[in-house]
Chains A and B, each alone.
Chain A
Amino acid sequence: MTTDIHLIRDATLKGFGLYCLAYAVVAMLSQTVPLLLTLDLPLVAWAASLFVNLSYAALGYLCVFRTHTITRAFWREEETETMQTPLSTLTVVVSLVGVYFLIHTAGLVMYFAWEARHPRVYSVATLIGTIAALAFALSLVRQAGPLARFIQKRG
């Protein structure tokens, strides 16, 4: 197997982008949506949280689906044939991002499950959001192959 620096850059940027996208989804489910349901919090706190998550999502989108735009901006080189080569390692990259968020959200689920013993809108919404985030992380590990194929086609 011949590995070229363009492939390594592509894999690294896509891996980083996937991390950003997964972070945005997890944070949106476990923070931003529950914050919106808690009406007594100031709007600016919710807006700041939304702004951060959308920024993560935008950077993630650019890195995953517009990888060539990023590489052209950072490395001003001629596009070579190897940049078009399908990347066989992307399945593993998607799985690894899934494993990372699996551990992260499993801890959060325990945290909010305990807090939801005293049911309030915020604690219940956060628990549901965190469980959804855990399911999302699990699906990243389970569906790494199809996701990698989709990313490779679009990115």
Chain B
Amino acid sequence: MNITIHQVRDLALKILGLICVLKLVLNVARAAHLATLVNGSTYPGNAASEMWSEVAVTVFYLLATYFLLFRTQYLLGLIWRDSETDLESLSAPRIATAEFWVRLIGVYFLIWSIADLASVIWQWLPGFRRDPSFTSDFTIINTLRSGVMLLLSIVCVRWPDAPFRLFRPVPQSDEEMPSL
């Protein structure tokens, strides 16, 4: 494997830059939506201040995108001060298996669903119900969603080959399935 850690860092920062492009798009859409609400009376919040806040975040993402995608070497120098010619080879056998990545996806949803469950579970407690007609429905919906995601994430963490066995992917003729 003739890959240097420097190249991997460079790639990771560029992928982060592409994620910033998506965040930028989301913020532009939100700012445009809020701009149409500034003179309206139906919006419950302060549309103008929220719009300017979205514009500020958009400018931040614009700068982040530029630096991450086109000034990556500058950022690499700022974050990691080791030599650019450091040719330390990347040997990470654990990340070279599909099971590792399925577990990682499982852990991501595990954290997400536990946090979500924690945020709705207090509403099951009678003392915290301010408006039972509203909160019961909302609580049931969110508990169901988080519960299903929690269950599936546990399956992914505990049995990482389960998605491949359960859904029997059609293998390519020249390769076996789960190894990168």
Contacts and interface: CB of A to CB of B under 8 A. Distances in A.
Interface of A: 2-5, 8-9, 12-13, 16, 20, 42, 44-45, 48-49, 51-52, 55-56, 59, 63, 74, 88-89, 91-92, 95-96, 98-100, 102-104, 106-111, 114-115, 138, 141-146, 148-149
Contact of A108 (B22, B145, B170, B175): B145
Interface residues of B, number: 56
B32 A107 contact: no
Contacts of B142: 111
Interface string B162-176: 011001111110110
B39 interface: no
Interface in B54-99: 69-70, 72, 98
Q: Closest 5 interchain pairs by CB?
A: A107-B149, A48-B29, A55-B25, A111-B145, A145-B172
B156 A99 contact: yes
17 contacts: A3-B2, A5-B7, A13-B15, A48-B29, A48-B30, A51-B25, A52-B25, A91-B175, A92-B180, A95-B164, A96-B98, A96-B101, A103-B106, A106-B149, A110-B148, A145-B169, A146-B170
Q: Interface majority SS on A: helix, strand, loop or mixed?
A: helix
A142 B169 contact: yes
Q: Interface majority SS on B: helix, strand, loop or mixed?
A: helix
Interface of B: 1-4, 7-8, 11, 14-15, 18, 21-22, 25-26, 28-30, 32-33, 36, 69-70, 72, 98, 101-102, 105-106, 109, 113, 140-142, 144-149, 152-153, 156, 163-164, 167-172, 174-175, 177-180
A113 B148 CA distance: 12
Contact of B148 (A89, A107, A142, A149): A107
A15 to B, nearest CB: 9
B169 A144 contact: yes
A36 to B, nearest CB: 16
B148 A92 contact: no
B26 A52 contact: yes
B171 A99 contact: no
